[in-house]
Homo-oligomer: A and B are copies of this chain.
Amino acid sequence: MEWSEHARRELNRAGHRTGGARDAVVELLAGQDCCLSAQDIHDRLRGGERAVGLASVYRALEVLTQLGLTRRVDVGGTAAYEPASPGGEHHHHAICDRCGKLDAFEDEQLEALIDGVAERLGYAIGEHEIVLRGACPDCAGERSIHVER
């Protein structure tokens, strides 16, 4: 649990008070490597010891994202959030059209290439997001066995 430390410190440094709701969101996110939607977070916290209003989840995520502590990922209409590693490394996502599974991947070359493109465009890029959509290994396999549909 190192990220939660970092997050709490940064929140404090930015002049935010410690509140029960935001703290619960931070703690939940700390134990999560990949992305969760606001609704997901709200649901999981409701089951736990500290329930948090949905609006507070959104507000917490807004602050965290603004401080660069979380990364917002747009996967198909709804926003999802994941802790951002302080180091700056990050991953991207592949989503299965069939079963909805979401896999993460990283690729250094890809990052380098993106930086190159950004430079070519003259953009000072702060963020980038890559989403792959298709059939995951399981579903792709199935399709070739069951011919129907």
Contact = CB atoms under 8 A, between A and B. Distances in A.
A94 B121 CA distance: 9
Contacts of A140: 122-124
Interface in A97-118: 97, 103, 105, 107, 109-110, 113-114, 117-118
Contacts of A117: 105, 107, 110, 132
B118 A126 contact: no
A49 interface: no
Q: How many copies of the chain does the oligomer comprise? A: 2
A133 B118 CA distance: 10
Interface string A116-145: 011011111111111111111100100000
A129 B126 contact: no
Interface of A: 74, 76-77, 79, 94, 96-97, 103, 105, 107, 109-110, 113-114, 117-118, 120-137, 140
7 contacts: A74-B74, A94-B118, A94-B123, A103-B123, A123-B132, A123-B135, A123-B140
Closest CB pairs A-B (n = 5) = A122-B137, A125-B134, A124-B140, A124-B135, A127-B133
